[in-house]
Amino acid sequence: MKGVVFTEFLELVETAFSPEVADRIITRADVPSGGAYTAVGTYDHHEMLALVTELARETGVPAANLVHTFGKHLFSRFVVGFPAFFQVPSAFDFLERVHDYIHVEVRKLYSDAELPSFEYARPDDATLVMTYRSRRPFADLAAGLIDAAVEHWGGGVDVVREALDDPERTAVQFTLTRRPAASAS
Amino acid sequence: MSDLELLQRRLERERSARKQAEALIEAKSRELFFVNEELRRLNENLEELVAERTAQLGERSAQLEESLSQISAILESISDGLLATDNDGLVVRTNRALERLFNVDEGALGRPVAPVLGAAFGDLFAAADEGELLRGGRVELELPLPGARIGKVTLRAILSLGPEPAAIGRLLLIRDITREKEIDQMKTDFISNVSHELRTPLTSVLGFAKIIRKRLTESVLPALPAADQRAQRAARQAADNVSIIVQEGERLTSLINDVLDIAKMEAGKIEWKREPLAIGEVIERAFTATRALFDQSGLEAVLEIEPGLPTVEADRDRLLQVLLNLISNAVKFSERGAVTGRTRLDPERGEIVVSIVDTGVGIAPDEVGAVFDKFRQVGETLTDKPKGTGLGLSICRQIVEHHRGRIWVESTLGEGSTFSFTLPLRDPRRLRTRTVDLPQLLARLESAAPLGGARSERPLVLVADDEPHIRGLLRQELEAAGYRVVEAEDGLSAIQRVKESHPDLVVLDVMMPKISGFDVAAVIKNDPVTMETPIVILSIVDDPVRGDNIGVDTYLAKPIQIDALLAEIRRLLERGASRRRVMIIDDERPTLEQLHRLLETRGHSVVAVWDAREGIARAKALKPDLIIVDQLVSDQHRLIQALEFEKELEHVLFLLVAEGSEGG
């Protein structure tokens, strides 16, 4: 997992809770890197799972909620860091480009990046179906990112999450439905 | 846990993270260096490859250029003019020869053909049969080129190479054949000159041979004592030998005539007449004229002529020539059986098919195609005695093709041959039939006041010819026939003799020193004292139209056919008493020609004009006995009134001919 996810996570923990909480979960998780992360490095995703688990224990907030929140934070950091990807008119346009464009660009910079795959379907004009598949259990992170994207482009889209049966990987289907304009606000 | 400890741990983590980042950056730098190295090497390879490819391309394009310039050099070296267009008819290529012929430059490129080469060429492109060109056909014809030159022009499609050729344009080749034409003309002139030169001595040979034969049989043989068998035999043998000279002389004459005919046709020097005629009547005449051949051979002559055939427009004499040729061939190559003349109307093709069918030896299949070629004789030349010039059928073909017809032969060896030709029917829109009651018209003409005076017992004939042999021959023949003869050795003395001795008839050669025969005839016919004197032109110059215009009564071609000449002289002298001068004024040439012919066969002197104004002038000059005027022409020009007021025409009889009727 890319170092930027760890550095962003720890920064979020330090500001949302406190540097002490951050230091505590690092010490308790006892991760092999010792909690020394650089954004340009790459680390085992188990360290992230361990950190999240310790944060949940420390704060009493469920891990899924923490990861979801982190996803939304990560989206806001991406908007600042890579504004070029966000010059599109709608959340649908942005999300549809994640797999075939944004992830391709990421691989050009980080050939060792391990990225989840997305499949898309457009049963009708108001609906986008995105299927998340990954060897790692970060569907919550994806959900946070998707929710943040919807909010970024003004909301008005309902997101329904549904776990799919996949023996080898985490597979989740997100169905995004644009609400009629009247109730958009 | 103190704040200090917390800070120390954080610092430791940050340092460690920095070192990781530095190590990563170093690794990335190294990676970058190697990637750069790789890139440089690839770049070098690429440059090498590009240089190699560029060299190859250069070589290839040099080869292409060379082969293009070779093709260009070939096109420019062609001595024929060459012009290519694209499918839109715009010029894409010309060569130097064409540029010289038409005095154009590269500015011709991209323009249509007509403004570059002239309208005639534009028409050629427009009229060419597209389908025919795409099948690989071509259009060939002769067109005038700038500077009074003549070009042989070939137009064809430019077809792409490959299994399915498509037209990518048109190709025009123009050969300047002015020189060839000149040479051809020289050849024709040469042949006709040589033929003329041959005919002059031949005339003497033949004429004197005939006189010798006549003398032998009429004077010498009867005078020999019957007892002297040796002298009898010798004289008879001499008569036989002379007959062979006559026969061979006649054969030589017809050969020279054929050669001359072919030369004239090929040079386009024949004047073709066109008149509506009934082909059945022409066939009948041909069979009548060849009756002697049938009598000699014992063959039967059969006529199968469809009744009610439409008329065709053709040259009567030339058609007769074709038929005579086919019939005499049929007789020549048949030992028994019949020769059939047959006609058939083919309404679909709009033509009449004329066939001459024989029961003769037939023609081998491999020779059928060649019989119409020049100098072609059917059969083995070394063993079979040739029976003609080998030009007859070639002449036939030229005549038929001139009438826009086809000629061909079908034959089975040993069973006989059928020679057929077609004549296209006249364009029905041009048909305007008119019925003229000719017998009634003639009766009226001949009942009009008689003219002319009595002739002397032994009429005087002036013979004008610069060849003493010919004069001698004619003198002998004419005197033998009971005429008195006066001679003139050139044109000038001919005119003097006419004035001095007032001959009853003049026989004129055309080509004479000082004054030509035509000029002599013109002088005689324009002098009121002598204008009535009949003139017979006897010449190797075949220009009866000119003779006719001057007012020559009869035009005979050399070599002299003594019998025909004597018959003609007799006819002209007898006619003097009953002969009428008739003038026909009509704007319809066929009607006019029909009347003309009919009246002439009745011995009248006929002048035909088809222009009313010319008619008035000619009537004043000629003072005819009768003027036949078409009603329409007369109405349009108030012709009768105009003519009746002319002083010297007050006794002239007028006949008005109207549609379907006749009046006076």
Q: Which of B553, B626, B572, B551 is nearest to B595 (CA)?
A: B626
Is pLDDT larger for residue B564 or for residue B417?
Answer: B417
Q: How far apart are CA B606 and CA B584, in angstroms?
A: 7
Separation of first and last alpha carbons in chain B = 159
The HSE-up count of residue B156 (CA atoms within 13 Å, CB side) is 12
Q: What's the structural domain count of chain B?
A: 6
Q: Which of B217, B125, B115, B228 is nearest to B170 (CA)?
A: B125
Which residue in the set B13, B16, B24 is minimally distant from A40, CB to CB?
B24
Sheet holding B535-539, edge to edge: B484-488, B460-464, B505-508, B535-539, B554-557
Residue identified by tokens 């043998």 is B237
Q: Is B482 left (phi over 0), alpha (psi -120 to 50) or beta?
A: left
State whether B132 and B228 are in the same domain: no
Q: How far apart are CA B571 and CA B629, in angstroms?
A: 28
Domain residue limits, chain A: 3-61, 103-183
Residues 6+ apart with CB under 8 A from B73: none
* B158 φ/ψ angles, rounded to the nearest 5 degrees: -90, 115
Distance from CA of B5 to the nearest CA of A (A): 10
How many beta carbons lie within 10 A of that of residue A115, not counting itself? 15
Which residue in the set B6, B20, B25 is minimally distant from A36, CB to CB?
B20
A to B CB pairs, distance under 8 Å: 35
The domain made up of A103-183 has a fold known as H-NOX domain (3.90.1520)
State whether B361 and B258 are in the same domain: no
State whether B649 and B516 are in the same domain: no
Distance from CA of B135 to the nearest CA of A (A): 58
CATH no. for residue B482?
3.40.50.2300
Whether B6 sits inside 8 A of A20 (CB atoms) is: yes
Q: Which residue of B has its CA nearest to A109?
A: B28
Which residue in the set B1, B13, B24 is minimally distant from A36, CB to CB?
B13
Q: Which of B102, B101, B93, B55 is nearest to B71 (CA)?
A: B93
State whether B347 and B445 are in the same domain: no
B371: amino acid identity, one letter: V
DSSP H or E segment with residue B81 = strand B81-85
Whether A38 sits inside 8 A of B9 (CB atoms) is: no
State whether B155 and B185 are in the same domain: no
DSSP class of residue B112 equals B
Beta strands in B531-663 (DSSP E): 535-539, 554-557, 581-585, 605-609, 626-630, 653-658, 661-663
Relative to beta strand B535-539, strand B554-557 is parallel
Q: Which residue of A has its CA nearest to B24?
A: A41
Chain B CB contacts of A30 under 8 Å are none
Chain A CB contacts of B15 under 8 Å are 36
Which residue in the set A23, A38, A40 is minimally distant from B9, CB to CB?
A23
Burial of residue A94 (CB within 10 Å: 0-12, 13-18, 19+) is buried
Helix, strand, coil shares of chain A as percentages rounded to 5? Answer: 55, 20, 30
Whether A40 sits inside 8 A of B21 (CB atoms) is: yes
pLDDT 10s digits, B331-370: 988 888 999 999 998 888 888 999 999 998 888 888 777 7
Distance from CA of A31 to the nearest CA of B (A): 12
Q: What local confidence, expressed as pLDDT, does residue B657 receive?
A: 63
Q: Given a cut of 50, is residue B431 above it in pLDDT?
A: no
Residues 6+ apart with CB under 8 A from B270: B264, B318, B402
**Which residues, listed in sequence order, are joined to residue B643 by a DSSP beta bridge?**
none
B189-197 average pLDDT score: 80
Across chain B, what does the average pLDDT equal? 82
Residue identified by tokens 């028994």 is B336
Chain B CB contacts of A41 under 8 Å are 17, 20-21, 24
Q: Which residue of A has its CA nearest to B12?
A: A36
Q: How far apart are CA B15 and CA A114, in angstroms?
A: 26
Chain A CB contacts of B26 under 8 Å are none
Chain B CB contacts of A40 under 8 Å are 21, 24-25
DSSP class of residue B531 equals T
Q: Which residues of B450-470 are buried (b: 16+ CB within 10 A; e: fewer)?
A: eeeeeeeeebbbbbbbbbeeb
Distance from CA of B36 to the nearest CA of A (A): 16
DSSP class of residue B386 equals P
Q: How far apart are CA B256 and CA B242, in angstroms?
A: 21
Q: What local confidence, expressed as pLDDT, does residue B291 receive?
A: 86
Q: Which of B354, B355, B351 is nearest to B425 (CA)?
A: B351
**With contact defined as beta carbons under 8 Å apart, do B425 and B312 qualify?**
yes
Lookup: tokens for B231:
């002298």
Q: Is B117 helix (H, G, I), strand (E, B) or coil?
A: helix
State whether B172 and B188 are in the same domain: no
Question: How large is the greatest C-alpha to C-alpha distance in chain B, in angstroms?
Answer: 188
Which residue in the set A26, A34, A41 is minimally distant from B21, CB to CB?
A41
Task: State the angle between helix axes of B392-402 and B229-266 in degrees (0 to 180), rounded to the nearest 10.
Answer: 30
Q: How far apart are CA B262 and CA B191, in angstroms?
A: 10
Chain A CB contacts of B13 under 8 Å are 26, 34-37
Q: Which residue of A has its CA nearest to B10?
A: A23
What are the CB-based long-range contacts (under 8 Å, 24+) for A4-8? A4/A39, A4/A40, A5/A48, A5/A74, A6/A37, A6/A43, A6/A47, A6/A48, A6/A51, A7/A37, A7/A38, A7/A39, A8/A70, A8/A73, A8/A74, A8/A77
Which residue in the set A23, A38, A41 is minimally distant from B10, CB to CB?
A23
Whether B20 sits inside 8 A of A26 (CB atoms) is: no
Q: How far apart are CA B412 and CA B122, in angstroms?
A: 48
Q: What local confidence, expressed as pLDDT, does residue B655 receive?
A: 65
DSSP H or E segment with residue B326 = helix B316-332
| Mutant choice from B16, B22, B31 vs A, greatest count of A C-beta within 10 A | B16
State whether B287 and B390 are in the same domain: yes
pLDDT band at residue B574 under the 50/70/90 scheme: confident
pLDDT 10s digits, B435-444: 455 555 666 6
pLDDT 10s digits, B486-516: 999 988 899 888 888 889 899 998 888 888 8
Q: Which of B266, B206, B317, B286 is nearest to B555 (CA)?
A: B317
Give the B-side interface with A, CB within 8 Å: 1, 6, 9-10, 12-18, 20-21, 24-25
State whether B62 and B97 are in the same domain: no
Across chain A, what does the average pLDDT equal? 90
Residues 6+ apart with CB under 8 A from B442: B598, B599, B602
State whether B664 and B622 are in the same domain: yes
Give the A-side interface with B, CB within 8 Å: 19-20, 23, 26-27, 34-41
Is pLDDT larger for residue A73 or for residue B231?
Answer: A73
Whether B16 sits inside 8 A of A36 (CB atoms) is: yes
pLDDT 10s digits, A87-132: 999 999 999 999 888 898 888 888 778 889 999 999 998 999 999 9
Whether A26 sits inside 8 A of B24 (CB atoms) is: no
Share of chain B above pLDDT 90, in %: 23
Is pLDDT larger for residue B579 or for residue B662?
Answer: B579
State whether B520 and B548 are in the same domain: yes
State whether B410 and B280 are in the same domain: yes
Q: How far apart are CA B490 and CA B135, in angstroms?
A: 64
Lookup: tokens for B609:
């004009």
Q: What local confidence, expressed as pLDDT, does residue B319 receive?
A: 92
Lookup: tokens for A41:
């490095």
Q: Given a cut of 90, is residue B39 above it in pLDDT?
A: yes
DSSP class of residue B430 equals G
Residues 6+ apart with CB under 8 A from B356: B323, B326, B327, B330, B339, B340, B341, B342, B418, B419, B420
Whether A23 sits inside 8 A of B24 (CB atoms) is: no
Whether A36 sits inside 8 A of B24 (CB atoms) is: no
Q: How far apart are CA B379 and CA B616, in angstroms?
A: 61
Distance from CA of B42 to the nearest CA of A (A): 20
Share of chain B above pLDDT 70, in %: 83
Q: How many residues does chain B have?
A: 664
Is pLDDT larger for residue A83 or for residue B636?
Answer: A83
Chain B CB contacts of A34 under 8 Å are 13, 16
Q: Which of A7, A45, A58, A54 is nearest to A26 (CA)?
A: A54
**With contact defined as beta carbons under 8 Å apart, do A140 and A68 qualify?**
yes
pLDDT band at residue A52 under the 50/70/90 scheme: very high
Q: How far apart are CA B511 and CA A180, in angstroms?
A: 118
Q: Which of B299, B273, B409, B275 is nearest to B354 (CA)?
A: B409
Last residue of a domain, one of B266, B292, B323: B266
Whether B25 sits inside 8 A of A20 (CB atoms) is: no
Q: Which residue of B has its CA nearest to A6?
A: B17
Q: What local confidence, expressed as pLDDT, does residue B651 receive?
A: 58
Last residue of a domain, one of B395, B430, B465: B430
Q: What local confidence, expressed as pLDDT, does residue B326 receive?
A: 92
The torsion angle over the Cα atoms of residues A130, A135, A139 and A144, rounded to 10 degrees, is -90
DSSP class of residue A105 equals H
Relative to beta strand B138-145, strand B81-85 is unpaired
B233-254 average pLDDT score: 87
pLDDT 10s digits, B445-457: 555 434 444 445 7
B621-643 average pLDDT score: 68
Continuous H helices in B165-228: 178-215, 221-223
Query: Ranked by mean pLDDT, which of A2-16, B117-131, B179-193, B598-612 comes out on top?
Result: A2-16
**With contact defined as beta carbons under 8 Å apart, do B309 and B278 qualify?**
yes
Q: What local confidence, expressed as pLDDT, does residue B235 receive?
A: 85
**With contact defined as beta carbons under 8 Å apart, do B519 and B526 qualify?**
no
Q: Which of B605, B604, B648, B655 is nearest to B634 (CA)?
A: B655
Lookup: tokens for B5:
């400890």
Q: How many residues does chain A have?
A: 185
DSSP class of residue B218 equals I
Whether A23 sits inside 8 A of B6 (CB atoms) is: yes
Is pLDDT larger for residue B540 or for residue B95?
Answer: B95
State whether B245 and B346 are in the same domain: no
Distance from CA of B21 to the nearest CA of A (A): 6
Q: What local confidence, expressed as pLDDT, does residue B653 receive?
A: 64
**Domain extent for B586:** 432-451+579-664
Burial of residue A22 (CB within 10 Å: 0-12, 13-18, 19+) is buried
Q: What local confidence, expressed as pLDDT, does residue B427 receive?
A: 53
Chain A CB contacts of B17 under 8 Å are 36-38, 41
Q: How far apart are CA B397 and CA B421, in angstroms?
A: 9
